[in-house]
Amino acid sequence: ADKIRVAIAGYGNLGRGVEAALAQNPDMQLVGVFSRREPSSVALLDGKVPVYAMADIEQYQNDVDVMILCGGSKADLPEHGPYLAQFFNTVDSFDTHAKVNEYHAALDEPARKAGKLALMSVGWDPGLFSLNRLFGETILPQGETYTFWGKGLSQGHSDAVRRVEGVKKGVQYTLPSQDAIARVRNGEQPELTTREKHVRECFIVLEDGADEDTVRNSIVTMPDYFEPFDTTVNFIDEATFAAEHSAMPHGGFVIRSGDTGTQSKQSIEYSLALGSNPEFTASVLVAYTRAVHKMAQAGETGARSVFDVAPGLLSPKTPAQLRKDLL
Ligand code: NDP
């Protein structure tokens, strides 16, 4: 069968991850990368396809089955999504929760008009975690849903740590509070604030002559960022920092804790431990790209979310193969 022709719009961490993920899926083929930067300045992981100027993207309407949008949620996708839905079937990882319905409406109209399909907010959260929240609250209507994030690198808090005097290099990870998770798993259905759900952990390389206690104190007392949380500060050398703290890990848990008819306690738990947040998110985008292609071929148009995609469509296997292998 012909391969699904896929292109990438925006080439940052996620774009690189999509390139790598496509290489693991032989039924799909990367045909090009589009960037707002000067194409010759964009170095691909594996330079086998051309980089084109985003300004010329309309010219490639007939060469691409699905466009994967890899711009940032804050400033890029609100513009790229509705614009590109006029020309391509699209998949994106829009994650600004407060604006999901606004964004859906902005995609839906141009996509319908053009007879294209636009799948929004694909990834792990939103994305796989959203599906698991849906399973949880639908299957156990009497109960509570908990989402914990981490261990994950937090960009904003890492920047804040690096601004502390005496800090040469620093990163901050957010971790789920083990105590809070234990209470949820125990079926207590506690009411937890964001503060109670997470703890913060910093890894710091000091400037020459800087004092550990002074730096630690400046960090843990920083208002808003660290003061409200349980924060630990670890001091390490530069070699350890380079070896152990250069990746972008993330992950977390979705737990539904409920009870059924006879008061029996029931618990559903889904967890992710990700060595690289962007590479994993990209792998989810690529699986959903296959679904978008099948749905578009079947004549579906307009905006969709992960809730609208049947799981079997994610797989390269036929429905019969899936029943035989996985049912
Ligand atoms: P990046 O900042 O790495 O990339 C965003 C855009 O910035 C790129 O598309 C690229 O566009 C531009 N860019 C990248 N590198 C450079 C550079 N060196 N110079 C100039 N411009 C550059 O963001 P990520 O790829 O890490 O993340 C993208 C989005 O993915 C996030 O905003 C987040 O919303 C979403 N996300 C969603 C998740 C989910 O679970 N749903 C999980 C993780 C992320 P161009 O090529 O046009 O210049």
Distant-in-sequence, close-in-space partners of 218: CB < 8 Å, separation ≥ 6 = 164, 165, 166
Going from the Cα of 170 to the center of ligand 1, the distance in angstroms, rounded, reads 22
Going from the Cα of 70 to the center of ligand 1, the distance in angstroms, rounded, reads 6
> Nearest to residue 211, comparing CAs of 164, 166, 241?
166
Going from the Cα of 86 to the center of ligand 1, the distance in angstroms, rounded, reads 22
Binned at pLDDT 50, 70 and 90, residue 49 comes out as very high
Query: Which secondary structure element, helix H or strand E, spans residue 177, and what is its range?
Result: none
Show the beta-strand stretches assigned E in 12-50: 28-35
For ligand 1, atom 16, name the residue with the nearest CA.
12
Atom of ligand 1 at shortest range from CA of 70: 9
Under a CB-based contact definition with an 8 Å cutoff, are residues 195 and 226 in contact? no
For ligand 1, atom 39, name the residue with the nearest CA.
123
pLDDT exceeds 90 at position 156: no
For ligand 1, atom 17, name the residue with the nearest CA.
12
To the nearest whole percent, how much of the chain has pLDDT over 70?
Answer: 100
Q: Which residue has the tokens 């391969």?
A: 3
What integer pLDDT is reported at residue 155 of this predicted model? 83
Distant-in-sequence, close-in-space partners of 121: CB < 8 Å, separation ≥ 6 = 92, 93, 94, 95, 100, 103, 127, 130, 305, 306
Indicate the pairing of strand 231-235 with strand 250-259: unpaired
**In angstroms, rounded to a whole number, what is the distance separating the alpha carbons of residues 123 and 69?**
12
Atom of ligand 1 at shortest range from CA of 129: 40
Q: Which tens digits make up the pLDDT trace of 218-252?
A: 999 998 889 888 999 999 999 999 999 988 999 99
Dihedral sign (CA 146, 149, 155, 161): positive
Residue type, 210: A
- Around ligand 1, the residues with Cβ closer than 6 Å are 10-15, 35-37, 54, 70-73, 76, 93, 95, 123-127, 277-278, 281
Average model confidence (pLDDT) across the chain: 96
Q: Checking phi first, is residue 187 left (phi over 0); if not, alpha (psi -120 to 50) or beta?
A: left
> Nearest to residue 22, comparing CAs of 275, 306, 287, 276?
287
Atom of ligand 1 at shortest range from CA of 42: 46
pLDDT exceeds 90 at position 63: yes
For ligand 1, atom 20, name the residue with the nearest CA.
37
Q: For residue 243, what are the CA distances in angstroms to 155, 178, 238, 239?
A: 19, 26, 9, 6
What integer pLDDT is reported at residue 55 of this predicted model? 98
Which value does ipTM take for this structure?
0.97
Going from the Cα of 64 to the center of ligand 1, the distance in angstroms, rounded, reads 21
Q: Which tens digits make up the pLDDT trace of 182-198?
A: 999 999 999 998 789 99
Going from the Cα of 13 to the center of ligand 1, the distance in angstroms, rounded, reads 6
For ligand 1, atom 7, name the residue with the nearest CA.
12
Under a CB-based contact definition with an 8 Å cutoff, are residues 4 and 27 in contact? yes
pLDDT exceeds 80 at position 166: yes
For ligand 1, atom 38, name the residue with the nearest CA.
123
Q: Which residue has the tokens 């380079």?
A: 242
Full-model pTM: 0.93
For ligand 1, atom 3, name the residue with the nearest CA.
12
